A and B are shown apart, each in its own frame.
Chain A
Amino acid sequence: MNTVIFRTIAPALTALMVLFSLFVLLRGHNEPGGGFIGGLIAASAMALYGISSGVQAVRRALYFHPITMAGFGVLLAAASGIPSYINQVPFLSGIWWKLPLGNGQYFDLSTPMIFDIGVWFVVVGAITAIMLTLEEAD
C-alpha cells in the first residue's frame, strides 16, 4: 500500500468521502441515508487515510479522541430529547423549527436531525477507535 499514487490520492479521497458522508447524513430524513450509514462512510474514510498515512496522522487529523466523539454522539442523541421536555410531549418526540430563507422558502430543522447527527458521531467514533487500535497493534 506504499505506492506514490495511493499516498497522493488518499487524502483527497478521504476529504471527498467525509463530504459525501455528511451529504448522506443530511438527506437521511426523507431519503435513503442517515446517521448510521453516513457514519460508516466517514469511518471508511478514516480507514483509508490510516492505511495511506498511518495511525498517528489520523489521530492528528481527528483532533479529538475517537472515543470522545462517540461519547459526544450519545450525549447529543440524548439531548435531542430535551426539547420535548419544554414542549410537553413524550421523550424523543420530533419537533420542527422552520427557518425562513425569504421568498416563501423554509429551511427545516428538527430534533430527529440532531439525533441522527448524534448517531453519526457514535458510529464514526466507535468504528474509528476499533480500527485505529487494531492498526496500532501491528
Chain B
Amino acid sequence: MVDPTILSQAMKTTPTLLADWNIIMPMLIPLVFAAGSLMLRGKDKWQMPMAIVAVLLSLFGAANLFLDILYLGPQSLTLSGWLAPYGISFTADALSALFVLVASLVTLLILMYSPADVDKAAIKSGYYTLVLMLLVGVNGSFLTGDIFNLYVWFEVMLISSFGLLILGGEKIQLDGAVKYAFLNLLGTTFFLIATGLLYGITGTLNFAHLFTQVANSEAEGTLAILSLMFLFAFAIKAAAFPMYFWLPAAYHTPRVAVSAIFAGLLTKVGVYALIRIFTVVFPEGNGAAFEIFGILGGLTVIVGGIGAIAQTELRRMLAYLLMSGVGILMIGISIHTDLALAATVQYAVHSMLVMTGLYLLSGVIGRMAGSFEIAKIGGIVMQNHYVAIAFFGLALAVSGLPPFSGLWPKYMMVQAAFMNDNYWLIAAILIGSFLTIAAVGRASIQMIWRGGDVDTPDGQYEARGQRLGAKQLRVMMLPIAIIFMLSFALGIMPESLIRQANLAAYDILNIAPYVKSTLGG
C-alpha cells in the first residue's frame, strides 16, 4: 500500500463535485452523440434529430459552464484523479466559456439550416457525425488546459473538416481539399515540433505550469524562436496574411452549410490558440512577436479587403471578408491592452455569428439565382424582400456600420490603437473597413438591386421562376433571421457583450486565477 501522504501529492484526494464536470460537458456530450450517430449510420432519419439533441445539450452545458465561470472565476478539472501537471487538465476562463457558448450556438444554427442543404448521400456519408466531431474538436480546443491536448483537439477538428470538405467528391472539392489539407498539415507539424521543443526546455505541457516554468526559464533566445514557430503555425490556421491561400481556395467548394460552419468556427480556433499561447506561455511576447502580429494583422486586413473587391464569386468574396476579420483580431492581440483584448473577444464573437450568417445567406441567394457568380445573380429584391433585407443588414454588420454588432469592437479597437500611438494600425483598420464596404456595397448593388444578369439595363426586371420553394426558404431563413436579430441586438445594446468581453480580457491579462485553478494552492 502506498503511503497516503505521498499519494496526496500526486493524486486528488478530495471528492470531485458533479459541478466540476461542467467543464468537460461541452466536449463530452457531442462526442458521445457522435459515437451514437456513427453506430446508427444507415438510419438516416435519426441522424438529424440526434445531432440537434446533442448540440442543444452541449449548448445547455456551455451555458452552465459560462454561468459557473461568471460567478466563480476560472475553473479546472484534471482528468483521472491525478493532480496537475501530472494529469491532463481542462481549464476554462471567461474567454473559453464565451467562445464555447458561441460555437455551440453557431453549430445549432447550422444544424437548423442543414435539412435544406444536405442531401441523402451526404447524410449517408456521415454529415451529422462529422459536424458533431467538429464541435468536439472546437470545444475541446477552447477548454483544454494542456498544449499537447490542444494539438490533439486541433487534429480532431481538422480530420472532421477534411471529411466535411470532400462530402460529394467533386473535382473542385478535391482540389480545394488538397490545398487546405497541405497548408493545415504544415501548420500542425510546426505546432507539434514547437510543442516538442517547448517540452524539452520547460519539462511540462500544462498551460498553467508552463506559465510558471517559462517565467523561470533562462533559455530566452530559444523561447523567442519558439514563439515565432507557434505564431507561424497558428497564423496558418487563422488564415493570416502570407499563409491565407488555402482559405479562399477551399471555403467555396463544399456545400453551404459546411462553408458556414468552417467560417464560423475554424479560423476562430486558430485565433483562440494565438491568444492563449501568447498570454500564458509567452506573456511578454518574447522577442518581436507582438510587433509581427501587428504587421501581419494590418496586412491581413488590407489584403482581405482588396481580395474581397477583386472576387466575382460570392463565396470567395466572403472568404476574403472572413480573412480581413482575422486581421482585426490579430491587431487586437498585437496591441495587447485590456481594451484591445476586449475588442478582440467581442469582434471574434461578432465575426463567428455574422460570417456564419453571410455564408448561410449566400446559400439562399445561390439557390434563388442558380449560381454563385455575382454577374449571374440579380433581382433578389424583387424575388424576396426578406433575403434582400438580411443581406443588407449582415453587410452593414460585417463592414462595421451601425446599427449592427460590427461597429463597437472596431470602435474600441481604433480607440485602443490610438491610446497606444499605433497610427498605422488605425489606418489599416479604417482602410480595411472602407474596402469591405466597397466590396459588400458592390455585391449588394449587383445582386440585390440589378434586375437580372450583368447585362440587364437599369429599371428592368427580368422575371425568373422561383427556384426555391416557400417551405424550404423558411427553413433556410430562420437561422439567418436569428443571427440578424442577435447582431442587431448586440449593435444597439452592446453593453451586454462588452461586459463579457471585458471579463474575458481581464482573465486573459491576469493569469493568476487561471494558474491557481489548475495547479491549486
Contacts and interface: CB of A to CB of B under 8 A. Distances in A.
Interface of A: 65, 67-68, 70-75, 78, 81, 84-85, 88-94
Contacts of B21: 85, 91
B79 interface: yes
B79 A88 contact: no
A90 B39 contact: no
A90 B82 CA distance: 9
A20 B42 CA distance: 32
A74 B38 contact: yes
B253 to A, nearest CB: 23
Contacts of A67: 38, 41
B35 A78 contact: yes
B39 A91 contact: no
B38 A78 contact: no
Interface of B: 12, 15-18, 20-21, 24, 28, 31-32, 34-39, 41-42, 77-81, 87
Contact of B16 (A65, A88, A94): A88
B80 A75 contact: no
Contacts of A78: 28, 31-32, 35
Given A74-B31, A75-B32, A78-B31, A90 B16 contact: yes
Given A78-B32, A88-B17, A93 B80 contact: yes
Contacts of A75: 32, 35-36, 39
A113 B81 CA distance: 17
A91 B18 CA distance: 10
A58 B417 CA distance: 65
Given A67-B41, A71-B38, A74-B38, A89 B16 contact: yes
B41 A68 contact: yes
6 contacts: A67-B38, A74-B38, A88-B16, A89-B15, A90-B16, A91-B21
A85 B18 contact: yes
B328 to A, nearest CB: 37
A91 B24 contact: yes
Of B31, B39, B87, most A-chain CB atoms within 10 Å: B39
B35 A90 contact: no
Nearest to A78: B32
B81 A93 contact: yes
Of B32, B34, B37, B81, most A-chain CB atoms within 10 Å: B81
Given A71-B38, A74-B31, A88-B15, 20 more contacts: A68-B38, A71-B37, A71-B41, A72-B35, A72-B39, A73-B35, A74-B34, A75-B32, A75-B35, A81-B28, A84-B16, A85-B21, A88-B17, A89-B12, A90-B16, A90-B77, A90-B78, A90-B81, A91-B80, A94-B80
Of A74, A85, A88, A90, most B-chain CB atoms within 10 Å: A90
A86 B4 CA distance: 22
A94 B21 CA distance: 16
Contacts of B77: 90-91
A73 B18 CA distance: 25
Contacts of B20: 90
B40 to A, nearest CB: 8
Report, nearest first, the 7 A-B pairs whose CB atoms are least far apart. Answer: A71-B38, A74-B35, A71-B39, A93-B81, A88-B15, A75-B35, A92-B80
